Structure 1
Amino acid sequence: MPDYPAPDMADVDIIEVMKALSDPIRLHIVRLLADGAPRSKTMEGWGVDITKSTMAHHFRILRESGLTFTLISGRTHAIQLRRSELDARFPGLIAAVVGENSTD
């Protein structure tokens, strides 16, 4: 079983997070994950026209930067935004990135 380590949130660096978010495909992925629900890592439903290996690369960058977790259940792999942890560490960042109105 492959291991998908993610950094401890205390070790997540804002510069690495911003570098990960600077790619349009990764930004698109984060926007889709912004509701906090896990999504299957299959190619369907992401709305991008890239190869499976390129998508895996983007998932890895998001995980290694501290933005996401990879969840494993049997043979099923899913990805989930670390929304509550990111909101606690960098207040307002994810809301700004996904275009949520924070003046409500």
Structure 2
Amino acid sequence: MLHALSDPVRLRIVRRLAAEGVELSCSHFDLPVSKSTTTHHFRVLRESGVIRQTYEGTAKMNAVRRTDLDDLFPGLLDALLAAADRQAAHHGAR
């Protein structure tokens, strides 16, 4: 989990999913990387257990596995997201 969230693009994805609180499709994200790199980032997040992906028609929907992560690592996801939010606010980005 920590390795998956050590990448700024993956952390950005998880921050967005956590903030929205609903499933979002991969195409919902405007990331500063190519489509193949975006696919890689989602795969790393899925394989590390940070997100779950389901299909809704032809769209691949993504959601943070918050309950599972909180059961395994109580408070860790909230701490990581809070730290990322503070860092983004410090750098003027969201």
TM-score using structure 1 length: 0.73
Name the structure where helix makes up a greater proportion of residues: 2
1:4-15 equivalences under 5 Å are none
Aligned residues: 82
Pair 1:65-2:48 in alignment: yes
Structure 1 residues not aligned, in runs of 5+: 1-16
What letter matches 2:56 in structure 1? S
Match of 2:64 in 1: 81
Q: CA RMSD in A?
A: 1.4
Structure 2 residues not aligned, in runs of 5+: 84-94
Q: Cα distance, 1:68 vs. partner?
A: 0.7
Q: Cα distance, 1:92 vs. partner?
A: 0.5
Q: Return the alpha-carbon distance in structure 2 between the equivalents of residues 76 and 25 of structure 1.
A: 21
1:1-104 equivalences under 5 Å are 17-35=1-19, 36-42=21-27, 44=28, 46-99=29-82
Cα deviation digits, residues 5-57 of structure 1 (max 9, x gap):
xxxxxxxxxxxx11111111111111111143111111x4x242111110000
Q: Return the alpha-carbon distance in structure 2 between the equivalents of residues 20 and 34 of structure 1.
A: 15
Structure with more relative contact order (C-alpha pairs < 8 Å, separation 6 or more): 1
Runs of 4+ residues deviating >2 angstroms = none
